[in-house]
């Protein structure tokens, strides 16, 4: 397949797209999960745009902005294998022309202050702000985000609807390693012993699925038992409805977990159907 066209300015971007446009926003350090999103939208649009931008506004001081993997050349080669047409790789100045302190920001509202929002208070404001900017710059018909970051996906869908952005937001299935670990760019931080331990997070969710016929409490108890057996204390382990509200017996639900393995913070989630 031909190499994607790399564009870095607003003017170059506008000249590079035509027809129906699909956007796959990323921060780089691409893996098979990202590539599956690109493959998903390839038959749905005339032009597939992948953005590679490590967004500073979603990192708080002391988080891993400086350490986050930067693998641009390898990312370009990976995009080529799945038929991406355009890579939008802007600078901070292009994305935030008023500066990081002077920019208008999107308030994620109450749904952005629970779960991840409680533990990383600035993240969702930064995510929604940069995604809104990307929607305005790329003008996509559709955009896709991975379900691995389920709360993020839910908030982006809500933003697109509430702000009438005219973008259809799709979710892509979580891609997993052979032992079940959800693929993430941050998995590269794990030491060998930590990497083996990290698979217990997915094992806990599988235990929750198996126990969900007994209801929410049974699902949580089963999942927590697996984590405890491996010495993992989660930041949160919850069951919600698919919109992150209160789960209801006999209905589809979502189990979400965040936990540290060593110094690496990992997220995962699965769909469950509660008994009752």
Query: What does the pLDDT profile of the chain (276 residues) look like in tens digits?
Result: 789 999 999 999 999 999 999 999 999 999 999 999 999 999 999 999 999 999 999 999 999 999 999 999 999 999 999 999 999 999 999 999 999 999 999 999 999 999 999 999 999 999 999 999 999 999 999 999 999 999 999 999 999 999 999 999 999 999 999 999 999 999 999 999 999 999 999 999 999 999 999 999 999 999 999 999 999 999 999 999 999 999 999 999 999 999 999 999 999 999 999 997
CATH 3.40.50.620 matches 5-172:
yes
For 186-236, write each residue's pLDDT tens digit. 999 999 999 999 999 999 999 999 999 999 999 999 999 999 999 999 999
What pLDDT, on a 0 to 100 scale, did the predictor assign at position 276?
A: 77
CATH 3.30.1300.10 residue spans of the chain? 185-273
Those residues with Cβ within 8 angstroms of residue 231's Cβ, 6 or more apart along the chain or in another chain: 197
The answer to whether 62 is a known ligand-binding residue is no
The answer to whether 36 is a known ligand-binding residue is no
Those residues with Cβ within 8 angstroms of residue 211's Cβ, 6 or more apart along the chain or in another chain: 218, 219, 221, 222, 223
Catalytic annotation, pick one of 34, 40, 119, 230:
34
The answer to whether 148 is a known ligand-binding residue is yes
Q: Please provide residue 78's backbone torsions phi and psi, each rounded to the nearest 5 degrees.
A: -65, -40
The candidate with the shortest Cα–Cα distance to 48, out of 35, 61, 59, is 35
Distance CA 116, CA 42 (A): 31
Domain 185-273 is in which class?
alpha beta
User: Which strand ranges, in their side-by-side order, compose the sheet holding 21-26?
Assistant: 5-7, 86-88, 47-52, 21-26, 142-146, 168-172
User: Considering the entire predicted model, what is its pTM?
Assistant: 0.97
What pLDDT, on a 0 to 100 scale, did the predictor assign at position 63?
A: 96
The answer to whether 40 is a known ligand-binding residue is no
CB 14 within 8 A of CB 7: no
55 half-sphere exposure, CB direction, 13 A CA radius: 22
Strand, coil or helix: 182: strand
34 is catalytic: yes
250 exposure class (CB count in 10 Å sphere: 0-12, 13-18, 19+): exposed
What pLDDT, on a 0 to 100 scale, did the predictor assign at position 2?
A: 86
How many beta carbons lie within 10 A of that of residue 208, not counting itself? Answer: 26
The answer to whether 211 is a known ligand-binding residue is no
Instruction: Output the six-digit token pair for 112.
Output: 């952005």
The candidate with the shortest Cα–Cα distance to 16, out of 80, 86, 91, 84, is 86
What pLDDT, on a 0 to 100 scale, did the predictor assign at position 1?
A: 74
The answer to whether 31 is a known ligand-binding residue is yes
The answer to whether 27 is a known ligand-binding residue is yes
CB 20 within 8 A of CB 47: yes
Strand partners, 182: 176
Those residues with Cβ within 8 angstroms of residue 275's Cβ, 6 or more apart along the chain or in another chain: 212, 213, 214, 215, 218, 249, 250
For 159-195, write each residue's pLDDT tens digit. 999 999 999 999 999 999 999 999 999 999 999 999 9
CATH 3.40.50.620 residue spans of the chain? 5-172
What pLDDT, on a 0 to 100 scale, did the predictor assign at position 5?
A: 98
The answer to whether 149 is a known ligand-binding residue is yes
CB 155 within 8 A of CB 124: yes
């Amino acid at each position: 397949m031909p190499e994607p066209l790399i564009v870095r300015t607003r003017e170059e971007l506008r000249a590079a797209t035509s027809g129906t446009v699909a956007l796959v926003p990323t921060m780089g350090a691409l893996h098979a999960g990202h590539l599956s999103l690109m493959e998903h939208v390839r038959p749905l649009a005339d032009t597939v745009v992948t953005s590679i931008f490590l967004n500073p506004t979603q990192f708080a001081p002391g988080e891993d902005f400086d350490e986050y993997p930067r693998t641009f050349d390898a990312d370009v080669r990976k995009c080529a294998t799945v038929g991406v047409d355009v890579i939008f790789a802007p600078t901070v100045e292009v994305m935030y022309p008023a500066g990081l302190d002077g920019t208008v920001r999107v308030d994620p509202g109450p749904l952005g202050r629970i779960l991840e929002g409680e533990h990383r208070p600035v993240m969702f404001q930064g995510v929604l702000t940069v995604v809104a900017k990307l929607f305005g710059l790329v003008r996509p018909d559709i955009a896709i985000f991975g379900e691995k970051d389920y709360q993020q996906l839910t908030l982006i869908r809500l933003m697109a609807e509430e702000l009438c952005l005219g973008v259809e937001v799709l979710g892509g299935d979580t891609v997993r390693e052979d032992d079940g670990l959800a693929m993430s760019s941050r998995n590269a931080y794990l030491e060998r012993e930590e990497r083996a331990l990290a698979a217990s997070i997915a094992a806990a969710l599988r235990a929750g699925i198996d126990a969900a016929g007994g209801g929410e409490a049974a699902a949580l108890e089963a999942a927590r038992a697996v984590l405890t057996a491996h010495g993992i204390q989660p930041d949160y382990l919850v069951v919600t409805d698919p919109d992150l509200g209160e789960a209801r017996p006999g209905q589809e639900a979502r189990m979400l977990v965040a936990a540290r393995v060593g110094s690496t913070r990992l997220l995962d989630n699965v769909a469950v159907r509660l008994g009752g």
